[in-house]
Structure 1
Amino acid sequence: MDYPKSVPSVGLVDGRFVDENPVAGTPGSLIPAVWGNAVTEEILNVVTGAGLAPAEGDNRQLLKALQALLALASPMATLVTNVSTSKALAANELGLVLVNASSGATTISLPPADLALGVRDVIVRRVDNSTSRLAVRASGTDKIRFHTHLVAAGYPFFVLMGSGDWWHLRSDGAGNWWPIGRFDGTPLGRAVFETTALLNPGGYGQLNGAVFSRSDWPWLWDHAQQSGALTTEAARVGAEGGWTSGDGTLTFRGPEGRGEFIRVFDEGRGADAGRSIGSWQVDMFRAHRHELKSDMLGVPLVSAPNAAPDALFNQANISLGFTENTGGVETRPRNMAYPGRIKLI
């Protein structure tokens, strides 16, 4: 776009327009048709590029087109897309994506994070609180760069768990989606307590020794393998607080914590040595003895009423018998019972 410098026309000075000068007798500029058409084409390219149909009677189309294009050029597009079934998102649907997965297992596919897409943002938020699996998957060989401490390249998909769970992603134009924010960034695998029997959103499950599919939860399986608390299913007894390799091929098992007291792992201090992470420990009393006192070397007080009852009864080698059993099935302090949860993603 430029002034019509190369177009011969009356009244143009170096291609620039000038006014008529009646005193000097010089005419005003005449707009060349080729230039007028070029200007119109420039404007129409903006209008159609924004997805608008040119309308001769609408003098605000250029403004509307610029607003639409600027919104798309921003990393965070200003639009809301509602989804209630599995769907592949187009580039013009990025922005805030609200997903209702109550009808069943749902997969939301992201557009390719290539040069054509460039740097774009999307917030994917779950709006239903059903137990249906909701997966957000990258395109082709693209990766979503989360839990890179486990796998540097990230993973091809993640899951949204519970109403209100959301992730904010940004593409880099080179095959990657980078998490910018999420509803709950608590570290993977962390055990927590709740004051509700419901599962809160953000990626939590019950701390109940559940069996998982390795293909459905690849990041969790990687975490288990690198945890230092992984054993086989056959060796699980006594190590229920750790992970197991499941069937050895397709599954793995999570920690079991229901009904248990939690003790901080020794990690070389020596106060509770010889333990492994997630190992189970039987309850016990600390070794001690009770001093049973009577009269002088077992002589009944009725026979020696003035004797001081300060000798050890054991010295007389005589048993007084046993007390009745009292107490329950375990040794425990007073405590509160809260549901245990574990961060699954």
Structure 2
Amino acid sequence: MPRQPFNTRWAQGVESEDNLNTFKDPGAVRVSTGWEGGQDKDAPPAGHENYWHNRVDSALQGIERTGVMTYHSQAVYGIGCPTYAPDGNYYESLVANNTGNDPASTSGYWRFIGSSFFSGSDPGDIKIVGHNNVPSAGWLKCNGAAVLRASYPRLFEQIGTIWNIGGESSLQFRVPDFRGEFLRGFDDGRGVDTSRQFASFQKGTLVSFDSTIETTSVVGLRNVSVSPEQNYRDFIGADRPNNDYPGAVLAATGGSSGSIESTPNNFGVTRPRNRAVNFWIKY
């Protein structure tokens, strides 16, 4: 006989009753010791039997429908143990002996997984998407939109107002705007891209070139008169040469008079070959 689904629980029609004939909690002592066997022992009351089978069926029904056990405030969860919470989301326990900590309303005890058990992403995670369709459930486009903190509390908890640019109300925060941008790893003290704050913008470096020169020489950027050096570097978006270029220096050069725009192929901002994709952020 093939397995039957747990669409109907044993004795579910009498769950609201409370008597030995139909449905009765046998109590913690009886659950702990179980029934005594032997011909001289009385059979357990129908109410207790129905309660016990109903309890098992309820647990199996929950697993069949959600894939994991539904959260219970008295259950003891170990590290890495998943559960399905009443808010319709899955969570993973972060601590041992985790009990009495509602996943939907406490912090530090659970990792939010999402509406799908196999989502595998945390709020604030970024992913690259190779299509321009509407974001899947649990994701937003990184388009700089101002959204309500109350609507995306877990995302706001992670990124706060770091991507705000102004114009937001006290009830809003912005998702990052990565449209048309190249992303760069945060220096975080390494010393390669110094003096940068996380999430800060950095403009492209202005470079000069002359297509008429047939040697490896590079003509300096013309008609730039900015000082001191820091202002000059900020103006053209250039960093100090680092140890990758020993002996190199950064200096403003003189040049002939006239408009830069009058000389074709004289200057531009660096840009590698690229393809346009979408960035989504997990909420």
TM-score w.r.t. length of structure 2: 0.50
Partners of 1:113 and 1:142 within 8 A in 2: no
> CA, structure 1 residues 332+2, in 2 after alignment: closer, same or farther (shift >3 Å)?
closer
Q: Over residues 94-117 of structure 1, what are the superposed CA-to-partner deviations in whole Å (9 max), with x where a residue is unaligned?
A: 33447xxxxxxxxxxx988344x8
Q: By percentage of residues, which structure has more strand? A: 1
Q: 2:162 aligns with which of 222, 230, 239?
A: 230
Q: 2:103 aligns with which of 134, 139, 144?
A: 144
* Aligned equivalents of 2:273, 2:164: Cα separation in 1: 34
Paired residue secondary structure (1:222): helix
Q: Over residues 134-165 of structure 1, what are the superposed CA-to-partner deviations in whole Å (9 max), with x where a residue is unaligned?
A: 95389xx962169x8xx32569x9863xxxxx
Q: 2:42 aligns with which of 39, 43, 47?
A: 39
Q: 1:268 aligns with which of 163, 166, 189?
A: 189
Partners of 2:128 and 2:278 within 8 A in 1: yes
> CA, structure 1 residues 326+121, in 2 after alignment: closer, same or farther (shift >3 Å)?
closer
Paired residue secondary structure (1:39): coil
Letter in 1 for 2:145: A
Task: Tell me what 1:95 maps to.
Answer: 63
Question: Displacement, 1:214?
Answer: 1.5
TM-score w.r.t. length of structure 1: 0.43
Task: Tell me what 1:24 maps to.
Answer: none
Flag the structure with more relative contact order, 1 or 2, with Cα contacts below 8 A and sequence separation at least 6.
2
Structure 1 stretches lacking a partner, 5+ long: 4-15, 18-34, 51-64, 80-93, 99-109, 125-133, 161-165, 167-181, 237-245, 292-316
Q: 2:50 aligns with which of 22, 44, 48?
A: 48
Letter in 2 for 1:334: R
Partners of 1:136 and 1:158 within 8 A in 2: no
1:188-203 alignment, distance < 5 Å: 188-199=123-134, 201=136, 203=138
* Aligned equivalents of 2:219, 2:266: Cα separation in 1: 18
Partners of 2:142 and 2:177 within 8 A in 1: yes
Q: Over residues 150-191 of structure 1, what are the superposed CA-to-partner deviations in whole Å (9 max), with x where a residue is unaligned?
A: x32569x9863xxxxx2xxxxxxxxxxxxxxx2222233122
Paired residue secondary structure (2:88): strand
RMSD: 4.7
* Aligned equivalents of 1:217, 1:328: Cα separation in 2: 44
Question: Displacement, 1:332?
Answer: 1.4
Partners of 1:233 and 1:247 within 8 A in 2: no
* Aligned equivalents of 2:82, 2:125: Cα separation in 1: 29
Task: Tell me what 1:219 maps to.
Answer: 154
* Aligned equivalents of 2:186, 2:47: Cα separation in 1: 67
Q: Percent identity?
A: 21
Question: Displacement, 1:201?
Answer: 4.3
